[in-house]
Structure 1
Amino acid sequence: MDIGSGAVTVMTADDCWARLTATSLGRIAVSAAGQIDIFPVNYVVDEHHTLLFRTAPGTKLLELAINDRVAFEVDDHDADAAWSIVVKGRAERVEKQGEIDRAEQLGLAPWIPTLKYRWVRIHADEITGRQFDRQPEPERF
């Protein structure tokens, strides 16, 4: 698909998962009681193509308890291209000790010095991504 003079490429699901695996910072969008919130989280992808992040008690966990439907977005760029991936699905607290132990082995650590003992897993119902070739803006006038 071409838009203007720059190319937009729709990414395959495999390409999206490969990019998600290679990065670690995203944003989770949650909605409860008519309010929408977006939070930055560092995350990891496990072998089952689910996203995992750690959190402390607070707004994210409360809103996820009310409504487990989420959107998760990751994007990045370099000198030649930019890309954006959106995962839509449902989030659940990881509560079984065996699953927590496996999650702990993935090496995810908070970016800030806070204790985050709660694990959340996002199951993807839909994953979409696009890559954008970075080129100069076309002549506008």
Structure 2
Amino acid sequence: MANGTDDAAEQPITELTAQESWELLSSGALGRLASTVSGRVDIFPVNYVVHEGKVYFRTAEGSKLVELTINRDVAFEVDEIAEKTGWSVIVHGTARRLQKLSEVAAADELPLRSWLATPKFNYVEITPTEITGRRLVFGDEPDH
């Protein structure tokens, strides 16, 4: 301990446990979905909800839904930035549009409402294969 501070608290990057990552992911509302088709990567902002270890969002017909049909492998990122700290959580997994009436009815009960006044009738579920997170402490760059 230097200057009476805990060295761990001064680290600029701290890896989070899976549980910590899930807790932070669950606290968010807006994330970014990354998908790729034919070598082209696209990133889409989506509002989302976490439920029973999966990520859910709604979408309209269009490029996002088409891409998820062609390649189900996705990354999903959520972060929060404050004045001196921040965090970032990334989920890698597979996405699928919910099709069974019972699945859609269950998803419709989730607190997931579109932020835009556009019809979004498709529910998408991301089943994670990996979750990672980092807590960040901002500060001046060290001397060279």
Q: 1:117 aligns with which of 117, 121, 131?
A: 121
Per-residue Cα deviation, 1:64-99 (whole angstroms, up to 9, x for no partner)? 111000011111122331111111010011111111
Aligned counterpart, 1:40: 45
What SS does the aligned partner of 1:43 have? strand
Name 1:16's counterpart in structure 2. 21
**Match of 1:123, SS?**
strand
Code of the aligned partner of 1:104 = D
The percent of aligned pairs where both chains have the same amino acid is 44
Residue 85 in 1 paired to residue 60 in 2? no
Pairwise CA RMSD of aligned residues? 1.5
Measure how far apart 1:138 and its partner are: 3.2
Amino acid at match of 2:132: T
Equivalence for 1:103: 107
Post-superposition shift, 1:113? Answer: 0.4
Query: Paired residue for 1:70, among 65, 74, 79?
Result: 74
How many pairs were matched up? 136
The Cα of 1:135 is off from its aligned counterpart by 2.5
* Matching of residue 132 in structure 1 with residue 142 in structure 2: no
Structure 1 residues not aligned, in runs of 5+: none
Instruction: Name the TM-score, length of structure 1 as normaliser.
Output: 0.90
Look up the SS of the partner of 1:110 in the other structure: coil
Kept in 2, the 8 Å contact 1:52–1:119? The answer is: yes
Larger radius of gyration: 2
Question: If the length of structure 2 is used for normalisation, what is the TM-score?
Answer: 0.88
Q: Which moved more, 1:18-27 or 1:101-110?
A: 101-110
